Amino acid sequence: MPDTEANTAWRPLSIVVAGGGTGGHLFPGIAVATVFVHRNDQSRILFVGAGRPLEKAALARAGFVQRVIAIEGIKGRGIWPKMRAMLKIPGAVWHSLGILGDTQADLVVGLGGYSAGPVALAAWLKGIPVVLCEQNSVPGMTNRMLIPLAKRIYVSFDDTKGTVGLPKKRFTGNPIRQEILDARSLPAGEKDRFSVLVVGGSQGAHAINLAFMEALPHLKRKDRMRIVHQTGEADQDKVAAAYQAADVDAEVKAFFHDMASRYHAADLVVCRAGATTVAELTALGKAALFIPFPFATDNHQAHNAQRLVDQGAAMLVLERDLSGPWLAGQLDALAAAPQRLEEMADHARALGKPNAAQAIADDCYQLLDNTS
């Protein structure tokens, strides 16, 4: 494998990063793209996706350009929407062929999500190497379909299920944005309270918000707690009012842009179990209480969380079993058990792969050198 000390001397590449739709797909792509630019600032990176608002906003903040193809998801839709989506695929492949020709792409990196499919297929038709990033322990439908076309599949879990096998498979971990990794170097602050970070994703999680509102009157150690709660827009006001009524020290916002400092201050993170969240928690070494999204494709969030639970790094409760009194009891118990939190954090850190983006870039250069 190439010497990472020679990163800045490596040749510039033209790379198309395809897919997204959700932060869980998109943010790993941003992490990998950033490494390629760091290796050689003459490299050209283009993201191709469906142009959803989250994609546009995140890529604009990261300084990357996106081109949009007309494509829709198929899974979980009715017969007519499904047929309409399928009819868009040939046009999306044709458009992708043009984009790849315009960029003279050396490599296509597929992130998962339905918009990755036409781009990867177009790359295969043009003989451009395709690599896939599979964030979840259960590969999504798009990646399952693209595995035969790919030269590499970079997986986040060593026991990723499905048909991902050697010699294509590389266990790299899930790429993490540098701004999150930078939290590891933040100075330790003085701890006088049990700090809980609640985050249900960029849009919040209504069920988690409700459970916390129900839990607040039952807390017995609220004077020893500080809660930072990302609610999403819809629930912000009523969640903030519930904390105020219960006299619990809390910071409540619809969305936190500075997640690195929030992670850093937390003793416990209560969250969904998307692959990016799992990767960030393990890289930073944070104890977690996972409440998997019950409608995630192939129940992949529960599978993601279970691996950490099995290693003593986290707790898990299914949304159907979540209640306010139960949640209050768990928070009170953990507030009184700092040693248990430290042990969970240590186990989480042992599972972390903070250098995943660098490992993927290393292997991509090696792949291209071997196929040139």
Determine the pLDDT at residue 96. Answer: 96
Determine the pLDDT at residue 166. Answer: 67
Query: Which residue from 168, 172, 175, 135 is spatially nearest to 153, judged by alpha carbons?
Result: 168
Residue with the two structure tokens 């639970």: 309
The whole-angstrom separation of Cα 193 and Cα 284 is 20
Q: Cite the DSSP H helix spans in the chain.
A: 23-39, 53-62, 79-87, 89-103, 116-126, 141-146, 178-181, 206-215, 236-246, 259-265, 275-284, 300-310, 324-335, 338-350, 356-371
Using CA atoms, how far residue 37 sits from 33, 41, 112, 259, 276, in Å, is 6, 5, 21, 23, 21
- Residue 210: other Cβ atoms inside 10 A: 17
Count the helix, strand and coil residues of the chain and give each as a percent rounded to the nearest 5.
50, 15, 35
The whole-angstrom separation of Cα 257 and Cα 180 is 11
Determine the pLDDT at residue 8. Answer: 42
Give the CA angle between residues 285, 28, 280 to the nearest 5°.
10
The whole-angstrom separation of Cα 361 and Cα 178 is 14
> What does each of the 372 residues of the chain score in pLDDT, given as a tens digit?
444 444 444 889 999 999 987 777 899 999 999 999 999 999 999 999 988 888 898 899 899 999 999 888 777 677 888 788 788 889 999 999 999 999 999 999 999 888 999 999 999 999 999 999 998 877 888 888 999 999 999 998 877 766 556 688 999 999 998 889 988 888 776 678 999 999 986 555 899 999 999 999 999 999 999 999 999 888 999 999 999 999 999 999 998 888 899 999 999 999 999 888 999 999 999 999 999 999 887 788 999 899 899 999 999 999 999 999 999 999 999 999 999 999 999 999 999 999 999 999 999 999 998 876
Determine the pLDDT at residue 333. Answer: 97
Residue 137, token pair as written in the block: 């322990």
The whole-angstrom separation of Cα 177 and Cα 185 is 14
Give the containing element (helix H, strand E) for 206. helix 206-215
Strands 194-199 and 225-230: parallel
Determine the pLDDT at residue 163. Answer: 58
Residue 178, token pair as written in the block: 């540098």
Residue 61, token pair as written in the block: 């903040």
Q: Are 108 and 120 in contact (CB under 8 A)?
A: yes
DSSP state of 175: -
Determine the pLDDT at residue 104. Answer: 96
Q: Per the confidence metrics, is the pTM higher than 0.75?
A: yes
Residue 197, token pair as written in the block: 């970070």
The number of angstroms, rounded, from the C-alpha of 216 to the middle of its chain's C-alpha atoms is 29
Q: How far apart are the first and last CA of the chain?
A: 16
Determine the pLDDT at residue 72. Answer: 81
Q: Are 156 and 173 in contact (CB under 8 A)?
A: yes
Residue with the two structure tokens 């977690």: 288
188, with CB counted inside 10 A (0-12, 13-18, 19+), is exposed
